[in-house]
Amino acid sequence: MSGNPLANALSRGLWSWTRSRRIEKLVHDVVVYALLVGLGALFAFPFFWMISSALKAEYQIFVWPPQWIPNPVMWSNFAEALANPLLPFHLFFRNTMIIEVAVLTGRLISCTVVAYGFARLTAPGKNFWFAILLATLMLPKPVVMIPKFILFNELGWVNTFLPLTVPAWFGEAYAIFLMRQFFMSVPVDLEEAAHVDGASTLQTIRYVIVPLSIPVLTVIAILSFKDNWNDFMEPLIYLNNARLYTLAVGLAFFNGQYDVRMNLLMAASVVVMLPLVILFFFAQRAFVEGITLTGLKG
Amino acid sequence: MALAGPPSVLETRHRAPRIRHETVIFYLCIAPWLIGLIAFIAGPMVASAGLSFTRWDMLSPPEWVGLRNYVTMFTEDPDYWQSLRVTVVYSVFSVPLRLSAALFLAILLNEATKGVGIFRTIFYLPSIVASVAAAVLWSWILNPRFGPVNGALRLIGIRGPAWFSDPGYALWGLVLMSGWGVGGEMLIFLAGLKGIPSTLYEAAEIDGAGRWPRFIRVTLPMLSPAIFFNFVMSMIGSFQTFDTAYVISTARAGTIGGPLRSTLFYMLHLYRNAFSWLKMGYASALAWVLFLIILGLTLIALRSSALWVYYEAERGR
């Protein structure tokens, strides 16, 4: 090749051409998007399979190759899954929502007040208590699970929603920590003005701090809603009556009992997942911010 | 608002009661959390430590047995070692899988320019799905006869395993499944990647560093705090695995931790002792040992972090 000047020049030209930035960028983008589309399909596939199975007739669900798009579309599967008299999903939904409302109200109120104390007031022992608060973030649940059960059992609270809701009215370490960080960035001047006007601490929190802290309150509300929605172990421990089950526990029992009726099981799974997915689409920013801000996993 | 200058005599005289007043308000503000701390954390911790030295079925009064529960755990309970083994094997495979998958996805998203939001949503969505729903869904995905995974394997001539009904594969099915829910870790990596100053990459590029050296020399060190955080959280989480294993084993094998104890996670063994067999004392001892294991692993990770986690603020030292 070295003997032919033309070929030599051509190959050198081609070489520099393929190495040019534009081509490199194009190759890079093609590789990146090919991987993204491939992996995206892999991650989305279970959702597709679930929805497709939820809408199939029973005879279609066990065929191979699978019928990807159900025909006929069995919307009635949803009605059948939800109307099961042994596993009343409408009750599970109502139970879950009652717990959600009680927990969110309690957590937001108590954590705001506690976080205000840690952010704005000075008192002897404050740093000590704050260190304890941070330490409790690391504590695994199992250590306190059994005595808590015994305590609530003694109080006669087993088989009620009280063990699942009352603790939320006594603060929650990660929410307090996150709110404290946010409150510290709120200008002090406004509070002082309120103070001069004779506002009490609770009034200052209610009329000055809360309106300025809507973003962090939203993040906490959404993450807390999700955690409660998905919680399985606590309702499993405290609720032994099928009429009190939450959606997660109800679905687990449905799974145990109706093994072969996969289309109904998938319809029930869609019902359990859908509200969170819808919430996610409306509150995507808060979800993403919450994870990255708090550093707590989703 | 406050005037500059030394405080007047009048102000100094009023300061002491004002500080006392503020102290009272501070403690009133944090009172809900303090009460919660005593009732739901500190009290139960003391109670559980005490209970771990007793035998108690909640019906007859607790009986003091000293270290018996701890001795039983290590010498007489074959399920104990099995549950520890299952948990360790799962963690050893699941944690690295999750971390590398999350890092890979985050890097891909960081490299992309258009449609990032759509892909980020797709990868993040599985991690907000209830673990019970995910478990139900995956037991259908990994259905030996009608599931798509074994169907795909059939297409290339491989006879897929029975997954959750086969003791040799059930745990691997759970490991595989855990890789689906890496969205949270991915977002933390993505935030970390966005925080790396582009000047570092430009400098490396001027020095002639290619893609791979830049990844090794710039990305990984700058990302090491995020890797460390995800590693510790992921490890703590995997040692407490419960939901998915409970749902899948009770439905597929009919017993907690089945088939043949192959998915008997530590937390399942603990749950079974406490709430199926009402061995509250023994279960408390199990909980404390789990706590000590997690604490020990976390401390080891913290200690080792000095060797490989790079913090920007320390650069000057």
B317: closest CA of chain A, how far (Å):
27
pLDDT at B8: 47
Question: What is the longest distance spanned by two Cα atoms in chain B?
Answer: 92
Q: Residue B64's pLDDT band (boundaries 50, 70, 90)?
A: very high
If we measure between CA atoms, which residue out of B164, B138, B271, B36 comes closest to residue A236?
B271
Whether B7 shows a pLDDT value over 50: the answer reads no
Q: What angle do CA B179, B183, B188 make, to 5 degrees?
A: 120
CB-based contact B132 A46, cutoff 8 Å = no
pLDDT at B314: 55
Q: Sort out which chain A residues have CB atoms less than 8 A from B141's CB and list them.
A: 46, 49
- B30 near A201, Cβ under 8 Å? no
Q: Sort out which chain A residues have CB atoms less than 8 A from B153's CB and list them.
A: none
Whether B6 shows a pLDDT value over 60: the answer reads no
The helix/strand/coil state of B225 is helix
pLDDT at A20: 73
pLDDT at B317: 39
Section A105-124 average pLDDT = 96
Best probe of the A interface among B3, B21, B129, by most A CBs < 10 A, is: B129
Distance from C-alpha of B209 to C-alpha of B206, rounded to nearest angstrom: 7
Whether B312 shows a pLDDT value over 80: the answer reads no
CB-based contact A291 B188, cutoff 8 Å = yes
B256: closest CA of chain A, how far (Å):
12
pLDDT at B101: 97
A30-56 residues labelled b (16+ CB within 10 A) or e (exposed): eebbebbeebbeebbebbebbbbbbbb
Q: Residue A290's pLDDT band (boundaries 50, 70, 90)?
A: confident
Give the mean pLDDT of chain A. 88
Q: Sort out which chain B residues have CB atoms less than 8 A from A189's CB and list them.
A: 1
Write out the H or E segment, with its range, that includes residue B64: strand B63-64
Q: Sort out which chain A residues have CB atoms less than 8 A from B274's CB and list them.
A: 145-146, 149
Q: Closest chain B residue to A196 measured between Cα atoms?
A: B1
Q: Residue B5's pLDDT band (boundaries 50, 70, 90)?
A: very low
Q: Residue A298's pLDDT band (boundaries 50, 70, 90)?
A: very low
Whether B231 shows a pLDDT value over 60: the answer reads yes
Reading the block at residue B66, the tokens are 């000293």
B247: closest CA of chain A, how far (Å):
6
Whether B315 shows a pLDDT value over 60: the answer reads no
pLDDT digits (tens, 9 = 90+) for A180-222: 999 998 888 888 888 888 888 999 999 999 999 998 999 999 9
Q: Closest chain B residue to A37 measured between Cα atoms?
A: B119
Section A107-114 average pLDDT = 97
Q: Residue B14's pLDDT band (boundaries 50, 70, 90)?
A: low
Residue B240 has its nearest CB partner, among A133, A136, A141, at A141
Section A222-238 average pLDDT = 95
CB-based contact A251 B136, cutoff 8 Å = yes
Percentage of chain A beyond pLDDT 70 is 91
pLDDT at B57: 93
- Name the least confident of B7-16, B124-133, B145-154: B7-16
pLDDT digits (tens, 9 = 90+) for A134-167: 999 888 889 999 999 999 999 999 999 999 999 9
Whether B148 shows a pLDDT value over 80: the answer reads yes
Whether A118 shows a pLDDT value over 60: the answer reads yes
If we measure between CA atoms, which residue out of A146, A237, A154 comes closest to residue B51?
A146
pLDDT at B107: 95
Whether B51 shows a pLDDT value over 90: the answer reads yes
Predicted interface score ipTM higher than 0.85: yes
CB-based contact B187 A298, cutoff 8 Å = yes
Q: Sort out which chain B residues have CB atoms less than 8 A from A64's CB and list them.
A: 146, 151, 154
CB-based contact B126 A169, cutoff 8 Å = no
User: pLDDT: is B186 or A19 the higher one?
Assistant: B186
B307: closest CA of chain A, how far (Å):
22
Q: Closest chain B residue to A43 measured between Cα atoms?
A: B123
User: pLDDT: is A67 or A241 the higher one?
Assistant: A241
Task: State the angle between helix axes of B78-111 and B220-239 in degrees (0 to 180), rounded to the nearest 10.
Answer: 150
pLDDT digits (tens, 9 = 90+) for A17-58: 556 778 888 888 999 999 999 999 999 999 999 999 999 988
Best probe of the A interface among B84, B111, B128, by most A CBs < 10 A, is: B128
B78: closest CA of chain A, how far (Å):
21
Whether A292 shows a pLDDT value over 80: the answer reads no
Section B68-78 average pLDDT = 95
CB-based contact B145 A249, cutoff 8 Å = no
Best probe of the A interface among B19, B23, B33, B266, by most A CBs < 10 A, is: B33
Section B216-242 average pLDDT = 93
How many CB pairs below 8 A link A and B?
A: 262
Q: Residue B294's pLDDT band (boundaries 50, 70, 90)?
A: very high
- How would you write A161-214 as a 3-class SS string? CHHHHHHHHHCCHHHHHHHHHHHCCCCHHHHHHHHHCCCCHHHHHHHHHHHHCH
Whether B165 shows a pLDDT value over 60: the answer reads yes
CB-based contact A40 B47, cutoff 8 Å = no
Q: Sort out which chain A residues have CB atoms less than 8 A from B58's CB and list them.
A: 150, 153
Residue whose token pair is 């509250």: B280
- A287 near A280, Cβ under 8 Å? yes
Fill in the amino acid letter for A101. Answer: V
Distance from C-alpha of B125 to C-alpha of B111, rounded to nearest angstrom: 20
- Name the least confident of A43-47, A95-99, B79-83, B114-118: B114-118
pLDDT at B316: 44
Distance from C-alpha of A210 to C-alpha of A158, rounded to nearest angstrom: 35
